[in-house]
Structure formats: structure tokens, C-alpha cells
Amino acid sequence: MKITDSTFFLLKECEGLKLKSYQCPAKVWTIAMGNTFYLDGTPVKQGDTITMGKAIKLFYSVGAKFEKSVNELITKPLTQHQWDVIFSICWQYGAAWLKKSLILKQINSNPNDLKGIRTIFDKMEYDNRRNIEFKHYSIK
């Protein structure tokens, strides 16, 4: 599957889109939708700003790596909304984490077991983000 507008808007809702650099909870300088580096590999610094257009370009460029990882890790057919959520989780935690996760195991076992998926989400951190993602995942 591919990144779509649906993917972009889910991630924007979960991450926010900030055009001025900020420190994430780990105290790393971050910009746009959770980016810590620019396309050229330069790290985000305090006081950096970015235009909306460059933030969107950064998302789609960096997102291509996550898109590939999600497509390699998912073994069951998903709806676009379900795929978007797995992409969002991969964006937040990384592909190495996702590969070992209970959520991936559950989805590759039965992507339509909403009760099982909800149970795993309830054990994950970032309750509000997981609630947003679960609502998106459940869209038919």
C-alpha cells in the first residue's frame, strides 16, 4: 500500500505539524511532524523554522522509508485506514520496534480482531494517540 492523504492527515493529527522547532519528550529538537533531521541529514536545531510546503515534502520523502518497511512487515491484506495506523506506529517507534511488536503479531494473525487490537493499544503508551489511531483503524 502507499501513503495517501488519509495517512498524512492521521499522522498530522497524532504528531501535530509544527513549523518551528521544539523539543520532543526525549529532549531532541524536532520539527514538522516529528522529524529530527532534514532531507540532507542535517539535524533539527533550536530556533529552526520550516515552511508548510517543505514540511509536507519532508513527510512524503521520509515517509517513503516507513512505507517500504510497513509493506514488508504486514502479511495480511489491510484497508487503507488500517495500513495508515500501522504506518503511524512505525513512524513513532521505528521499523525495528514494529517488527518485534505485539501489535504487528496481532495484525498479521487477524487484522479484523478489533477487540484484540484494542487490548494491545490499551497497554501501549500515549493513550490519546492510540485512541485516535484505533478510531481510524476501525473505519470501514
Catalytic residue numbers read: 15, 24
Question: Residue 132: what residue type?
Answer: I
One DSSP character per residue, 46-94 reads TT-B--HHHHHHHHHHHHHHHHHHHHHH--S---HHHHHHHHHHHHHH-
Could you tell me the three cell numbers for 94? 521505528
Give ∠ CA 6-8-54 in degrees, rounded to 5. 150
Contact 120, 98 (CB under 8 A): no
The position carrying cell 485506514 is 81
Look at the chain and count its residues: 140
